[in-house]
Each structure stands twice: as C-alpha cells, then as structure tokens.
Amino acid sequence: MLLVQKYGGTSVANVDRIKAVAERVDKTIKEGHKVVVVVSAMAGETDKLINLAHQISSNPSEREMDLLLSSGERITSSLTAMAIKELGHKAIALTGRQTGIVTDAVHTKAKIERITADRVKRALEENYVVVIAGFQGITETDDVTTLGRGGSDLSAVAIAHALNADLCEIYTDVDGVYTADPRIVQDARKLDRISYEEMLELASLGSKVLQTRSVEFAMKYNVPVVVRSSFNYNPGTLVTKEDKEMEKVVVSGIAHDVNQAKITVMGVPDKPGIAARLFKKIADANIVVDMIVQNISIDGKATDISFTVPKTDSKKTLKITEEIAKELGARAVDLREDIAKVSIVGVGMRTHSGVAAQMFDALARHGINIMAISTSEIKVSCLIDAKFTELAVRVLHETFGLAAI
Ligand code: ADP
Ligand code: ASP
Ligand code: MG
C-alpha cells in the first residue's frame, strides 16, 4: 500500500519525537508499505513566528508572513528526513514548491489549484521515503503561500489524492475523533468511524482535530482518512462515506469554537440592499462570515444586524463595518470577542425531530443564555457567553448520552 502519514506539531515537537516518527515510518516500511510523510512545524513554532512578526509590525505584509511561516515546516521536514536516513532508509525532504503544490495567491489562506508531484513520484519509484513540508504551496508567479492554520492536514489529504494513495493517516496527540474535545469532556468517547459530512461540520464548528478544508477536500475526492495518535498504536477513527448505521445515532459529537467575534451594527435603516452592501464588502476582503442575525424591525424603523467572523479578522471587519455604517447612517457598531459557539452534530438529525429544542432546554436549565442560533440539516449551533463554554459542552455531551459506556 501507499500511505501518506501526516504528523502534527506535537508529534514532531522535539528531537525525540522526530526520532519516534522515523521509527514509525521504519515500522510501516517493514510491514511492506511505501510511505510519504507530511510534517507540521514543531509545536508552538508557527505561533512563535507570528509573534515575532507582530513585534515588528502590527500589520505585517501577508506575502512576507507566508514566507516566514513556511520556514517552520521546512525545519521539521529536513530533520525528519535525516532521522529516517539514520535508520537506514533512503529519504528526501521536499518543500511545497518542490512537491509542485500550486495555489492561488490569497496569502495566509491560499487554496490548492493543482499538485504535480512529479518529483515525489520519481522518488517513490526509486524507493525513497519522501518527507514533505506541510502547510505550504507556491503561486503561479513563484510566491510562497500557506494554506491557513492547521493547513498541513490539507497538504496531506491533497497529496494522498494526487498520488492516489491507499490511505491518508493523520497522526496527532489524541487517539482519534472523539464525541467532544477530550481535553474538556473527560468521558468523551472515541468514534470508530465518522462520516465526511459530520466531520466537516465538527471541524468547521471548531473541532480542530482536522482542518476544515482538509475534510472538504477528502469528501470531494473520497480520500480515506484515519485520525490516530503518534504516541501509541491504538486504532484511530476512520473518516468515510455515510452509511445507514450512522443514521441511528442522532447526535455524534459536540463542537465548540471560541475563536469567533460578534459584530453588531445598531440602528440600520430597514430597506432593501443594506445587508448586500455590508456583506459584499466583507466578502471582498476574503473574510468568512458565519452566523447572521437581523432583528425584526417594526414599521420599517431602524434595526440591528449582528454577525460573527473569525477573531483573527475581527479588527479588519470592524473597520470595514464602521465605514459602511457611516455611509448608511447606522447608529453604532459594537465588537464583542468574549463569545463562543457550541454545536451539536449528527446525520441522524435528518430523521429525528425535537433535537434543537432539547439542546435549548439543556442550556436554559443551566442558566446559559443563547444570543444567536443557526441550524443546518445535521447541526444546531448556539452563540453563548464565552465563560459558559466548558459547562455548555459538558451539559450537551451528557444530555445527548455521548459518554463512554
Ligand atoms: P496537530 O498539531 O497534530 O495538528 P491539533 O492540535 O491541531 O493537532 O488537533 C488535535 C487536538 O484537537 C486535540 O489535542 C484535541 O484537544 C482537539 N480536539 C478538539 N475537538 C476534538 C474531538 N472532537 N476529537 C479529538 N480531538 C479534538
Ligand atoms: N504549522 C501550521 C499551524 O500551526 C500548520 C499545521 O500545523 O498544520 O497552523
Ligand atoms: Mg492540526
């Protein structure tokens, strides 16, 4: 089999961990497989680099930011290749560019357009273990790009697809995908399997065990993905196509996200075209808006619009919103960062009613106020005060009976 193995930050956090990765690769080869390794930067390295940049500029150029951040993964790819060589295998480290990962030019959150991987294929034919620096690509005009936080997951899935690999293994610091973040809910249960759709919802609603775009990619191209731990040999969680069995479970998991900010525009005239103008400007700045709530206006009077954006984009969004608010004659704009979104996810919700009501009731019983709600066929999300995040996750986990039996 051809396996793509991705090792996250904690799995390559220091020299000993990198040696442990090499040993696992060695074991995999001895089992008769070919291996392509994709690595993240050492744990904390990307944050450290971002911090350095912000000590120099409050608004560093995104092009230079990408070049800077891509260095973290270059370090681990070179070191990992060296460690694999030490165990007697042929190994070669490649950057995103050398792998032929071509992206668009949206710096810091570039999208992959194509992967040539010629050099990877050649190296594999010559029995090399190929170690690829994750998280990065190159534009048509030769600028380095990065794929958004957690983007090495996407590198791995996309490379697995480009190479037609048999499996993409995502090695991390937990045994697999759990019914809730195991760091918050102690009796969270590991799932043996989860559908692409549920995983996509969980990821986009804040479960960072897999990057959202990597799941989107895996689902689109049907790439089989397994999430497992690099610290033990326990079986992980298979992310795969939905089947009938999965529908029996109403709620599969709870997600939470504390990385959102809420912006409220107060006193907006209630007439057609206002929302279109505001949200077009925000979209043009490549900012993704999540929840939107507009209060009902009485007799065409002014109304309020609230929406959420990633915290990392909150200042930029605030500026844009304030400009438009002025043009529109709105009364005021308010930014709140102490909010959280808690969500329940499950394909079984399609065929069960009353699930949302059960969620609202559970939160209400614990005195947790809901600021906004959004739903889809397979999820319900509530915006709450950030100080209640952990309580809300635990309460919902219990309400829907997700604990380990
Ligand atoms: P890596 O550095 O390996 O990419 P991440 O920190 O990005 O690892 O993702 C793993 C983390 O995801 C875990 O340590 C865990 O705290 C968190 N997590 C959040 N939700 C879940 C979940 N439902 N199941 C498993 N892990 C989760
Ligand atoms: N090093 C990058 C980050 O911290 C990419 C990754 O780890 O997947 O976001
Ligand atoms: Mg990650």
* Residue 230 pLDDT: 98
**Degrees to nearest 5, angle at CA 298 with 295 and 302:** 65
Which residue minimizes the CA distance to atom 9 of ligand 2? 149
pLDDT tier, 405 (very low <50, low <70, confident <90, very high otherwise)? low
- Contacts made by residues 277-285, CB under 8 angstroms, sequence distance 24+: 277/324, 277/328, 278/305, 278/321, 278/324, 278/328, 279/307, 281/320, 281/323, 281/324, 282/309, 282/317, 282/320, 282/321, 285/313, 285/316, 285/317, 285/320
Q: How far is the CA of 223 from the CAs of 173, 184, 185, 211, in angstroms?
A: 22, 29, 29, 15
For the ranges 263-272, 314-323, 387-396, which has the lowest average pLDDT? 263-272
Nearest partner of 96 among 64, 60, 66, 124, judged by Cα: 66
**Lowest-pLDDT choice from 37-46, 94-103, 231-240, 275-284:** 275-284
Ligand at minimal distance from the CA of 255 is 1
Q: Say if ligand 1 is within 6 A of residue 172 CB.
A: yes
- The answer to whether residues 229 and 175 touch, using CB atoms and an 8 Å cutoff, is yes
Ligand 1 site-directed mutation target among 170, 209, 254, most atoms within 8 Å of CB: 209
pTM of the model: 0.93
Instruction: Give the ligand whose atoms come closest to the C-alpha of residue 7.
Output: 1
DSSP 150: T
Q: Give Cα separations from 383 to 14, 33, 141, 181, 184 (angstroms).
A: 38, 46, 41, 18, 18
